[in-house]
Structures are given as C-alpha cells and as structure tokens.
Amino acid sequence: MTTRTAPAPALVWVRRHLFRSFWDGLMTVVFGGLGLYILFRLARFVFVTARWEIISTNLKLLMVGRWPDIHLPRISVTLVVLAALGGLVAGLIHARQVRAGTSAVEGMPLPARASDLGRRFGLLIGAVLLLLALTTTVGTWLTAAGFVVAGVVGRLAGARIGRDRLSRPVIILLTLVFIGVPAGMYLYLVDAVPLADWEGFFFNVSAAAAGIVLSFPLGVLLALGRRSRLPLLKTVSTVYIEVVRGAPLYVLLLLANVSLEFFVPASFSPSKPIRAIVTFTLFTAAYLAEIVRGGLQSVPRGQEEAAKALGLSPVKQMGLIILPQALRNVIPAQIGQFIALFKDTTLAGLGLGILELLGAAEAITQQPDFRGQGLIIESLAFVAFMFWVGSFTMSRESQRLERKLGVGTR
C-alpha cells in the first residue's frame, strides 16, 4: 500500500497562492518580475544613486522656509505645548473609554501596548527619526525629546483627570484650555514671524489645520441650512454647496489671488497665506456640509421624536440629541476631508506662489550648487515621502476609528 505524504505547508501555500493554474503561474512570474524590478530600481535609487545632500543641505528651507533662526525656538515651544495638549486629549478619551468599558488597550500588558503604538505610529516615528538624523543641530533633538515628554505627561494627566466623571467647572476649564492654548500659541508665533512669512512644510500643516478648524462651524451651519424646512435658508445653503463643489480648488485659489482685495475695503490687503486659508475654509466648508448632512441622515428618526416627546426645544433637540450623534458618526469622513485638504495645500504653491513644501522642493533644484543636475527626483521623493507618511498614518487611524465606532454596524 502506498502512503501519500502530505506536502509541506509552505509548498501548499505556494501552490494555492502563486501557481493555482497555468495562467495564475504566468501572472505570478510576470508581476513578480515587475515587482522585483521596481523594488530593485527603488532600492538602488535610495541607497546608491540618489544624492541626498540636496535634502540635508536644505532641510530647514523645506520644513519651515525662511523662518529666522533666532525665532526657531518658538516653533519648538509650540510643538511641545501642542504635544501636551494632544496627550491630554488622548488621556481623556482613554479614561472615558475605561469608564464606559470600551477601551481596547486597558489591561493589556505594557509590551503589547507598546507594540500596538509601534504598529500605529511606527511609520511616523521612523520618518521623524530620519529627519532628526539629517539635522545637524541639537535643538531639533531637544524639541523631539520635549515633544515626547510633554506628550507622555499630558497623556497621564488626562487619564488622571478623566478617571471620574468630569464636573462642570473642569469641563469649562478644559474647554478654555483647548481654545485658549492654540490661540495663544498662534499669537506667540505671529508675534515673531507674521503669517505672511510662513513657509515650507510648516505652512502645509498649519494651513490644513486652520482650514479644517475654521470651516467646521460654517460646514455645520450649511448642513443644517440644507436640511432645514425653511425654503429660503435651504436654497441659499444648497446653491452655495453645489457651486463650490462644482468648482476646482485651483481656480478658486487663482481667483482669490487676483480678486480677494477687490471684495474687502481697500485698507485691508490680505497676505498670500491668508488668501490661501480663506479659500481652503470656504472650499472645505461645502464638502464638510455634505459630510455632516450624511451624518444627520444616519441618526434614526426615533431620536428626534424622543427628544420632542421630552419637550426639548428645537435648538436643544438639534444641539443635545441629534448633532452629537451625527458628528460622531462622520468623524472618519472628516478625517478623510482633512487628508484631502492636507494634500491640496500644495496647490497654494502653484496658485499663489507660496514657498510651501512642494514649491520649496522645486526651488532648491535651481540653487547654484544643484542646478542642472537633475536632482528634481530626489527633491520630489522627499516631498512625496513627507505627504505619504502623514496621509497614510491618518487614513489608517481613521479606519481604526471607523471600526471602533462601528459605523454602519450598529
């Protein structure tokens, strides 16, 4: 009697996933070859042929533009303070989840938590370490260390504050902190360098953040207007949303570049970054409005009816019952909109001539030391890497949040 020996598991896997049939095998060979070739070219470019000195020489220009050296510590301080604030938010959310019993990490051993964090933010940390390795000054390392310490302190403080139900004074205090501290940091920065001179990657990040924050109230109002039963309000909101969504952002930026000063009194001449941020805000508000409208539609009717039955006024029905649930449901979509805006900030370079990351990256290839050497590929690779790491990390976090909120499954 012959005994058939089972093939090794690895062999089974190869059969099943690479050579199921003749055509499957052919595809494996063709695309495997293509993939290996791309990988080889990429590795050779990154480690052998690329001349990265154009990046390391111009790192400051790419990151913060022509920000005066003497005021660089202000950016460091801002980053550290924002890290503390971010840590505080993370701690408060964590504490709330612990109270609600929905925390995924509570009770996990420390190494497992560390590896969870590593999986989520490893890329970001790697990118920061790479940037630090390219720098030549101590300040950046100090900033990074301060950032980490402040983040950890904020996280612990947030978890401690949020351990019990927050009392009303604490909530008011926290609200003031979350509004006041970023505003204060903004004043601290523009005190040294006016907004008109914000450049480099710093501009991309700030403009995207400002755009999304400022467009939020307008977007919510437009969404409410479009859903309103009042015909005039509905018409105004709908026309605004549809017109803006039908227009390309780039053309709006060009229009803002030549025309914004015509629409405001002559004494007030907005600088280029302000034009960019105003355009981003007005543009993003229309998209946010549609997102929020989707969120409002996802709240079951019973919620509104229950609120009515409790005798809440229309404003309270909306503000306390419907809107919170609607906004919670659309957090992932809002992050998606933020990512889109973050990527679109590059248009400000082309449209308004702001020296943001992409503009700076093109400009440095024209420096006397690097001109005519075809270094645009190195330059673009750096820009692409920066945007990719940011967008990819955010989109993965938003997917994680989506699973956690259970959108569509509840």
Partner 1 sequence: MTTVEAPQRPPFWRDVRVLSWAFQLVVFALVAFFIYWLVGNYQTNAERVGISTNFDFLDQPASFEIPGSEFSQTQPVRDAYVEGILNTIRISVVGIVLATVLGTLIGIGRLSRNWVVSRLATVYVEVVRNLPLLVIMVFTFLGLVLQVLPTIQEAWTPGGIMVFSNRGIAVPWYEGNSGTVLFLLFLVGAVGWWALARWRQGVAARTGAPSRAGLIGGGFFVAVMVIGWFALGFSVTTPVVEGRLSVGGIRLDPSYFAVLVALVVYTASHIAEIVRGSIQAVPKGQGEAASALALSGFQRMWFIVLPQAMRIAIPPLGNQYLNLIKNSSLGAGFAYFELTQVTQITVGNGSPAIPAFTLALAFYVVLSLITSAAVNIANRRFALVQR
Q: Which residues bind partner 1 (CB under 8 A)?
A: 16-18, 20, 24, 27-28, 31-32, 34-35, 229-233, 236, 242-243, 245-252, 254-255, 258-259, 261-266, 339, 343-344, 346-347, 349-350, 358, 362, 374, 376-377, 380, 383-384, 387-388, 391-392, 395
CB of 370 to partner 1, least distance (A): 14
CB of 331 to partner 1, least distance (A): 19
Q: Rank residues 195 and 286 by Cβ distance to partner 1 and give the closer one.
A: 286
Q: How many beta carbons lie within 10 A of that of residue 172, not counting itself?
A: 11
Residue 287 CB burial class (10 angstroms; 0-12, 13-18, ≥19): buried
CB of 301 to partner 1, least distance (A): 20
Please name the residues in contact with 196: beta carbons below 8 A apart, sequence gap of 6 or more: 271, 272, 273, 274
Residue 333 backbone dihedrals phi, psi, to 5 degrees: -65, -35
Contact of 278 with 256, CB cutoff 8 Å: yes
CB of 403 to partner 1, least distance (A): 15
Contact of 323 with 399, CB cutoff 8 Å: no
Question: What distance in Å separates the CA atoms of residue 271 and residue 207, rounded to the nearest whole number?
Answer: 13
Q: Rank residues 87 and 349 by Cβ distance to partner 1 and give the closer one.
A: 349
Q: Rank residues 150 and 224 by Cβ distance to partner 1 and give the closer one.
A: 224
Output the CA–CA distances (angstroms, integers) from residue 238 to 89, 292, 313, in the order listed.
35, 14, 25
CB of 287 to partner 1, least distance (A): 11
Of the candidates 370, 378, 282, the residue with the CA atom closest to the CA atom of residue 51: 378
CB of 321 to partner 1, least distance (A): 19
Q: How many beta carbons lie within 10 A of that of residue 283, not counting itself?
A: 22
Q: Rank residues 66 and 234 by Cβ distance to partner 1 and give the closer one.
A: 234
| Terminal alpha carbon distance of the chain | 57
Q: Rank residues 111 and 263 by Cβ distance to partner 1 and give the closer one.
A: 263
3-class DSSP state of 356: strand
CB of 308 to partner 1, least distance (A): 13
Q: Rank residues 187 and 266 by Cβ distance to partner 1 and give the closer one.
A: 266
Q: Rank residues 148 and 376 by Cβ distance to partner 1 and give the closer one.
A: 376
Task: Assign residue 198 a region (left: φ > 0; alpha: ψ between -120 and 50; beta: otherwise).
Answer: beta
